Structure 1
């Protein structure tokens, strides 16, 4: 019997949490584990999925030996996720891994309530209705949350350090994302405390992004904070090109924004999140129930500054900006594109 079949048969039995590991140990099988990865963004196989695979190899799982790896990407088209998730479920994976963002995790859970699911970077899994609570997920899904309670407020403070004088800050966001609602609330509270004027601009689709940035420029904002979600990340290159053309200092989330021409990227270390996701896969394959594996939150962050963009904007990066990100080994500070 495959491990997934055992999970389906016994995973919902509340009286068996102690017997579960013993029972799985008895399931000796020469079949390789089948793992499936559902990606929303193009290139996840070279970034997030690659980090998952590297960690799995460290844990003893190797393609062609004891593991089969199935990868599907929607290439930025959220409307394709449901079909791809269904295709992966049909392959009979032991664990289904949901890549970056909430939408991939939602599609995976909608496709199956029996196969264990590990999500690797969901902003607000409780608010999105994916799990019951961080401590007790309660279903067939668990994993890593990318939500840090004060990160959006820290981004606002960085912009104030970079462009002093309490000048207007534009916030670009997709209000339909649960994570955005929490982050926007944090930003508004922080703005009220430090006396910074804010103006929110919404973009729910890729087509709305350039229109929203055009309104930002027309509104006379001195800088911009992007509350990224899968939609806005899909417009990453377009966004960095438009703000560069407008000579608008902006701060983003994932480090890929800085490499794409963004001024500053500050957020959870995505490599660490992916590697932790692999640890969850390992635990489940060894008998742990997703319902009882607490969802972890990020513990390491990275701040990346694009010096080439800073020079083009004639900006001096103040030392206090680096200090405002945090202290200790939880922060990885780097610069890029200095040539």
Structure 2
């Protein structure tokens, strides 16, 4: 092909692509959520993600197709990952460490944006926060201070004298496995308390986890924070009430009946993830986007639940709360 013909052909291709975009050419997004595997709807924070994309000009069903897979590991996760990767989407979105690790193991080429991973460096998802490298980046929940210790401190203010606290964990969560092995024993010794580990990998195991905490005479319980427990918030709140266990949760929607919440604002993380997806769809490489930490935290106390548990909340704690539910 002569040089002039090559230039003309290239220009025609560019014009064709511009016309395609103008006519609403669709990009494809793969969204892998770890939930109950029943094809549930998006949760509140995940809806913020979709709303953010819409505000940035990406309309689902217009110029964007979102392929959702809701999977409960370990049964359905491999099939869900294989389904999404086979579609060869422009971007993959992974809320939580299980989804992020599963997608990273499945593809080294499709861009991945994770949300809500405590320590992506420790898990091997990225090389570093400022220079993630590879095809993956996203939003971490890691903070400089010892965040779990801070949550325990607030819970012990709510329940003075609590010396035995249960931690509700998901053993399938790789980040939690790290904490259980490396951090929890030394933290318990440092704080002078007993930390009881109660686990659930499925919704139907939650009842047994709370029964175990009660049987071991726990004074209170902390939901470590996991996609499974996020989805099952109403069930967990009801179990805490059933066993009369003061509880500390990680996300705002638990405050609807839950005693206390302290954690990063999930909706803000998903909003920022939407911004990352927008940049990648417009040509930015994941390796060029540093992993960002949370910037918004909230402490919420439900006084109605506190009274039902016979707790007196100190004025100093009420002053520090971002919201007090009467």
- CA distance in 1: counterparts of 2:30 and 2:53, whole angstroms: 13
Q: Is the 1:174–1:180 Cα contact (8 Å) retained in structure 2?
A: yes
* Structure 1 counterpart of 2:116: 121
Q: Is the 1:37–1:71 Cα contact (8 Å) retained in structure 2?
A: yes
Q: CA separation of 1:166/1:97 partners in 2, compared to 1, >3 Å: closer, same or farther?
A: closer
Instruction: Tell me the SS of whatever aligns to 2:262.
Output: strand
Q: State the Cα distance separating 1:154 from its structure 2 match.
A: 1.3
Residue 156 (str. 1) matches residue 152 (str. 2): yes
| Residue pairs, 1:139-218, within 5 angstroms | 139-148=134-143, 149-175=145-171, 177-180=173-176, 191-206=188-203, 208-218=205-215
The structure with the largest alpha-carbon Rg is 2
Structure 1 length as normaliser, TM-score? 0.78
* Structure 1 counterpart of 2:46: 49
- CA distance in 2: counterparts of 1:295 and 1:225, whole angstroms: 27
Unaligned 5+ runs, structure 2 = 1-13
Q: State the Cα distance separating 1:165 from its structure 2 match.
A: 2.6
- CA distance in 2: counterparts of 1:171 and 1:202, whole angstroms: 8
Q: State the Cα distance separating 1:266 from its structure 2 match.
A: 1.4
- CA distance in 2: counterparts of 1:36 and 1:248, whole angstroms: 39
Q: Is the 1:166–1:195 Cα contact (8 Å) retained in structure 2?
A: no
Structure 2 length as normaliser, TM-score? 0.81
The range that moved more, 293-302 or 108-117, is: 108-117
* Structure 2 counterpart of 1:301: 297
Match of 2:244 among 234, 242, 247: 247
Q: CA separation of 1:194/1:90 partners in 2, compared to 1, >3 Å: closer, same or farther?
A: closer
Q: State the Cα distance separating 1:189 from its structure 2 match.
A: 5.4
The range that moved more, 89-98 or 198-207, is: 198-207
Instruction: Tell me the SS of whatever aligns to 1:89.
Output: helix
Unaligned 5+ runs, structure 1 = 1-23, 326-332
* Structure 2 counterpart of 1:19: none
- CA distance in 2: counterparts of 1:49 and 1:238, whole angstroms: 20
Q: CA separation of 1:255/1:188 partners in 2, compared to 1, >3 Å: closer, same or farther?
A: farther
Residue 111 (str. 1) matches residue 106 (str. 2): yes
* Structure 1 counterpart of 2:225: 228
Match of 1:289 among 285, 291, 300: 285
Q: CA separation of 1:322/1:124 partners in 2, compared to 1, >3 Å: closer, same or farther?
A: farther
- CA distance in 2: counterparts of 1:283 and 1:96, whole angstroms: 13
Q: CA RMSD in A?
A: 2.9
